[in-house]
Amino acid sequence: MRFGVNHTPSVGWFHSWLDFSPSDTARDLEAIASLGADHVRIFPLWPIVQPNRSLIRQQALDDVATVVDIAGSFGLDVNVDALQGHLSSFDFVPSWLDSWHRRNMFTDPDVVASTAAYVRALAAAVADKPNLLGITIGNEVNQFAHAPHPAPHDITAEQGHAWAAAMVSAARDGLDSGLEARPAPAPSTAPGTGSRPRPLVTVAQYDAAWYDDAQPFGPEHASDHGDATVTHSWVFNGSAALHGALGPGSVRHGEYLLQLAAAWNRDPARPNWLQEVGAPTNVIAPADAASFTEQTIRHVLDAQHVLGVTWWCSHDVSRSLADFPELEYDLGLFTNDGRVKPAGEAFAAMARAGATAGGAGAGAGDRTPPPTALVLDDVMPDGADRHGVRADCAPGGRFAAAWLDLATTAPDGRGPQVVLRSRLADTDLLAARGITRCVDVPADLDTTTLTVAHPATMS
């Protein structure tokens, strides 16, 4: 079980790539390491690295590689996200893909080939770092694929699969070529950087993938591509409004999303990664942030095959920067000027306890899976895909309510796994997942409905 933090640079936010400062970076990463984190996730800005479709700036790649090295000096592994893309309400789209040059981001052959070239180059630039945790294709790129994005690049699910496959392939090619091209690193004795497993390649999506039937990127894009299934949990999606900031539907939302997403994994041993979760002040009072953090992580520890949890985020956005949603100024585990906040203390306590607990160390799958699974009706009686299944899973939906009922009444306090109706007959799969009892959503379930504010502008 890994504990990490999404690095939001304290000076200049991600615009700091324009004025890259190793010392500013080192100060931030030293602080993050002091919390007991073992990794960070970092975010180059796409238009800065690839300002022209055929120009990938070596200096930008070098800066990313330098950040990885600095992190390593503090014992931190690093996950590098490629396509930003979208961060904290701001879109960063290269000029060659916008306005007069607008083409579909996911399907235009020239765009896809050049985007893959960037992913490949970025992966290659950090491939030989002993502390490279992995490459994520980009932060919640599925936001661009459908409404409510204000200018979506609409696609089909099939086109989403082709794109994700191309990007994952590019990342793996980059990792391979980067390792081939460079001398093997000397064996490292730095903490946490011993005999490294192969870096992970992952695809990150915002939760419309699981909750919005109209979003072309869905659960199978999360489960079928890359090396782990990634979830991002943001309770401003209606969870906190429905259940209260510290209600079980809020502090267990990360756990729920991990279980929900894992249901689509074809490989029962596939790791699941809660790559983003935070305590947004638009729905969680600052005074509740520490408790939310502690309870959220505690519940995540109850899930099986959890690769890790990576908190959003390290540092509050500076009030000197304009136009962020209000909550972004208070999402940090540290204040902008570097003081640890109560949520940071809570994270640190969990990270330190988690890092020393159990026997399997950093590997996923060190927790016996919950034996009960709630059945998700993903198919119609005739076997066709059921439209509406994702709405059922969203906060306030029938399935979400049933899962929460089971979770809060479980004797051991652990939320149930989720199994797809379409896979119920796969007894090998169920056995491998440790599922011994399957439960249907009660026909007489009393659900509460609510209007869910769309999270897309938020993070």
Q: Does 13 bind a second copy (CB under 8 A)?
A: yes
Among 26, 75, 108, 149, the residue binding a second copy under the rule CB under 8 A is 149
Q: Does 382 bind a second copy (CB under 8 A)?
A: no
Q: How far is the CB of 209 from a second copy (least distance, A)?
A: 19
Supply the angle between the helices 22-34 and 58-73 in degrees, to the nearest 10.
40
How far apart are the C-alpha atoms of 321 and 18, rounded to whole Å? 15
Binding span for a second copy by CB under 8 A among 64-72, 89-97, 292-300, 307-315 = 89-97
Number of residues that make up the chain = 459
Q: How far is the CB of 453 from a second copy (least distance, A)?
A: 14
Q: State the pairing for strand pair 132-138/77-83.
A: parallel
> What SS3 class is residue 339?
coil
Q: Does 285 bind a second copy (CB under 8 A)?
A: no
Q: Does 100 bind a second copy (CB under 8 A)?
A: yes
Q: How far is the CB of 311 from a second copy (least distance, A)?
A: 24
The answer to whether 124 and 181 are in contact (CB under 8 A) is: yes
Binding span for a second copy by CB under 8 A among 8-16, 70-78, 402-410, 434-442 = 8-16
Nearer to a second copy, 52 or 156 (CB): 52
Q: How far is CA 440 from CA 70, 208, 264, in A?
A: 50, 24, 17
What 59-64 contacts at long range (C-beta under 8 Å, 24+ apart), as own/partner pairs, is: 60/17, 61/121, 61/122, 61/125, 62/125, 63/17, 63/20, 64/122, 64/125, 64/126
Nearer to a second copy, 101 or 437 (CB): 101
Q: Does 51 bind a second copy (CB under 8 A)?
A: yes
Among 109, 150, 187, 411, the residue binding a second copy under the rule CB under 8 A is 150
Supply the angle between the helices 398-409 and 253-262 in degrees, to the nearest 10.
110
How far apart are the C-alpha atoms of 259 and 403, rounded to whole Å? 10
Burial of 155 (0-12, 13-18, 19+ CB in 10 A): buried
Q: Does 57 bind a second copy (CB under 8 A)?
A: yes
Measured in degrees and rounded to the nearest 5, phi and psi for residue 271 equal -75, 155
Q: How far is the CB of 281 from a second copy (least distance, A)?
A: 19
Among 26, 27, 69, 92, the residue binding a second copy under the rule CB under 8 A is 92
Binding span for a second copy by CB under 8 A among 87-95, 296-304, 333-341, 389-397 = 87-95
Contact set with a second copy (CB under 8 A): 12-13, 15, 18-19, 47-48, 51-55, 57, 59-60, 89-93, 95-96, 98-102, 110, 114, 149-151, 320-323, 456-457
